[in-house]
Structure 1
């Protein structure tokens, strides 16, 4: 499709696409929280619950999507708990009226608790197992983290939009340039590049309980890519410096039960946080023509938001100037 949005994806088309696979919804479509793609949960006539995901047109190539699906199945073979796309007639990626989509079995669970050290310990083991299975080869179609290139490209995207009020522009772009400079200065650590989940935050982890046994399951590998192992860990850290050290200690000790971790990568935590901060502003900017974005991110076009981003960048510059987190034996 030539368009980049979902203007033609109505309920009838969604239902027709699902039924083209021989699966017949009995319930209505429950929209799940996703802005990049369109994701819906439903109950079918086989009494099972499913999730259907329609990929944003022109966002990924078929090769990139299929590489994500293959990666998911490879991890499943290594006993990594995750949700994989359903295979029908040997295929996991389907097309209907120009929209590409896939199906998953619906799984439940509670939100992952960042302040729960037992859950962080479990997640550390999961990520150690995941990265061990991921370290033998790299994605060939998907991206590799390149902090310098991404910051420069995101800056250009932000410059092209007309959201930043004139009285803030000089300060905003001056701070953004300084943030970029400090980020690049602190991101020259040598590290092994491996395949990653890429967007491992609390919203993509479901905590489940089974007969007095609790564990976690990973969802949404849409942003999987190549990069340093710390990318799948740093978003779990929150609170003050001492709290982050405690969380990091718990996760890394559990991680190393399955896979060695290069502690030099701790120096990438703040550069990767800066990368996410700037990429997020650029992401919303690029998606603004999608009606879902002005509706759900209306604050993006307010003066207050850009004032807050200036403050956030100053705080991140200060964080980059602090000493790197370190764990001692």
Structure 2
């Protein structure tokens, strides 16, 4: 069966035509980079450094939502934050080549930082403190806002509607999803949560160390939410190690703004939400040919068995109460 997904139209020729329409001359060297949600390419430019071209998934974000991502990056760049902001052409950073919005970025190489290093964690804390200081200056109008229980309920519905989960797991999944959503509703009350503009997906894969500068990259999931969303994903290991990591991050963070220690109670809600949304994301993208090829195990019993085990662990974590930090 021939796929009719829009990304099948995105040939190398289409990519080059779109970029050359913005005044660049491509040298026909196009390398696809690792990205599933969007399509991202390194494109050679005659007599210049290569560019990174990002073609946004049609229908996912509105023009206004993508422009808010760009404006946030430009604002952070103007404050000397280590981000990779889009390139402006005639004052514009967002372009259109039907049916794709796309943007161009300078190329940045580098390597993942060692988050086991206190120096890197303290530096990250400083960058986050500054990022959140800028993020608190105004609010997103067109980007998503983390809603907690409502987001979990939607993720559960997307999984069950997809038909990819074997039927014998439905009852266990529905029971766990309901319990997690109930706990999220108790612990995360959107009207009571102080929110700001965030990176939203600050896992180690979105950090890049280059020439002793630690870049925060890929703001595609920037969101309005609690500061803890940008902090908890930097933690790893058993609880004692996570406590120590939090102390190091806090030390750097508090050079610029108070550390949101009161949001530790939200951490397991945010972690549970990510687990549920990851499965829902895979299910909702199954019509994209890249997904069955990259994630062939999604409809297997093994994947859903492991997913349900993770949800049970998250339910236990929510019931146990928040991680605490020592007071000094």
| TM-score clears 0.5 | yes
CA–CA distance in 2 between the matches of 1:288 and 1:319?
A: 30
**Cα distance in 2 for residues equivalent to 1:35 and 1:237:** 25
Which range moves more in the overlay, 176-185 or 156-165?
Answer: 176-185
For 1:32 and 1:229, locate their aligned partners in 2 and report how far apart those are by CA, in whole Å: 30
Q: 2:218 aligns to what? A: 220
Residue equivalent to 2:242: 244
Match of 1:269 in 2: 267
TM-score, length-normalised on structure 1? 0.94
Contact 1:266 1:326 in 2 (8 A): yes
Do structure 1's residue 56 and structure 2's residue 54 form an aligned pair? no
Distance in 2 between residues matched to 1:10 and 1:174, nearest whole Å: 44
Instruction: Specify the SS of the correspondent of 2:48.
Output: coil
Deviation, structure 1 residue 166 = 2.2
What is aligned with 1:39? 40
Q: Which segments of 5 or more consecutive residues in structure 1 lack a partner in the other structure?
A: none
Contact 2:199 2:222 in 1 (8 A): yes
* Equivalent in the alignment of 1:199: 201
Q: 1:262 & 1:186 partners in 2: Cα distance?
A: 16
Provide the aligned C-alpha RMSD in A.
Answer: 1.5
Detail structure 1 runs of 4+ shifted over 4 Å in the superposition. Answer: none
Q: Classify 1:172/1:133 alpha carbon distance in 2 versus 1 (closer, same or farther; 3 Å).
A: same
CA positional deviation for 1:27: 4.8
Whole-angstrom CA distance in 1 between matches of 2:20 and 2:318: 52
Q: Which aligned pairs between 1:312-327 and structure 2 lie closer than 5 A? A: 312-327=310-325
Match in the other structure for 1:166: 167
Report what 2:227 is aligned to: 229
- CA deviations 1:223-265 (Å, max 9, x no partner) are 1111100101100011000000011110011101011122110
Contact 1:270–1:320 (CA<8 Å) still a contact in 2?
yes
Which structure 2 segments of 5+ residues have no match? none
Structure 1 contact 37–54 (Cα < 8 Å) conserved: yes
Aligned to 2:87: 86
Pairing partner for 1:258 from 235, 256, 259: 256
Name the counterpart of 1:107: 108
Equivalences, count:
323
1:150 matches 2:148: no
SS of match in other structure, 1:42:
strand
Q: Secondary structure at the match of 2:90?
A: coil
